[in-house]
Chain A
Amino acid sequence: MASHLGLLVMFAVFVSVIFAALLRDEPKEQLRFGVRLLAGFVGAALVLSWLMYPLPL
């Protein structure tokens, strides 16, 4: 279990679940917010990793 992407997604899942439960009250809202948060975390990580791909120049 040393896949960087796998660990990144697992971390994002944990943080998204906790934040969704913390910041939203209704289960439906929690699910919607959690999925958006997870997509944001993973998407941002993928974009940043591709931006850093050519580094160091």
Chain B
Amino acid sequence: MRATAADRAQSINPTLISIAALLVPGAGHIWQGRAQKGMIFLIGIPLMFAVGLWLNGRLFPFELTQPLVALAALASFGNGVPYAVATALGLGKGIVTAATYEYGNTFVIVSGLLNMLVALDAYDIALGRK
């Protein structure tokens, strides 16, 4: 009898799965055989992040002297690879005078937080809690 993707994932370290999920949205679910959910996350979260950048949102720097900026940076860092790609391409400078600036920031920050929730869900699945 062939092992299913979920069976194979059982033998993998849950921490490894959650790290993969954090780096690539939906990867943790796809790895554990939940392809439908994983594809929704794989498309939905980077798309929301991209819309945030398109709306002139900013990728905040880690400035510990400004706690709110540091928290925003931490949240947007939760996007994983899309965040790294956007940073490498020089996107996310943010145009403060743009009417959509705050909306863009909201999209970027919330997409990162949602991906953190998705990674936690993948961790729970790997532990057999769900």
Kindly list the 9 A-B residue pairs having the minimum CB-CB distance in the complex, ordered from nearest.
A21-B40, A14-B48, A2-B99, A7-B103, A18-B114, A21-B37, A17-B44, A18-B44, A2-B100
Which chain B residues in 68-112 approach chain A with CB under 8 Å? 99-100, 103, 106-107, 110-111
Interface size on B, residues (CB 8 A): 21
Asked, given contacts A14-B44, A15-B110, A17-B44, whether A22 binds B121 with beta carbons under 8 Å apart, the answer is yes
Residues of A within 8 A of B (CB): 1-2, 7, 10-11, 14-15, 17-18, 21-22, 27
Q: Give chain B's interface residues, CB within 8 Å of chain A.
A: 36-37, 40-41, 44-45, 47-48, 51, 55, 99-100, 103, 106-107, 110-111, 114, 117-118, 121
CB < 8 Å: which of B41, B110, B118, B121 contacts A11?
B110
State A1–B54 Cα separation when bound (angstroms): 10
For chains A and B in complex, what number of residue pairs have CB atoms within 8 angstroms?
A: 41
Given contacts A1-B55, A10-B51, contact A17 B40 (CB under 8 A): yes
The dominant DSSP class at the A interface is: helix
Docked-complex contact A22 and B110, CB < 8 angstroms: no
**Bound Cα distance A50, B95 (Å):** 30
19 pairs across A/B with beta carbons < 8 Å?
A2-B99, A2-B100, A7-B55, A7-B103, A11-B106, A11-B107, A14-B44, A14-B107, A15-B110, A17-B40, A17-B44, A18-B40, A18-B117, A18-B118, A21-B36, A21-B37, A22-B37, A22-B121, A27-B36
B17 to chain A, nearest CB (A): 16
Distance between A42 CB and nearest chain B CB, rounded to angstroms: 16
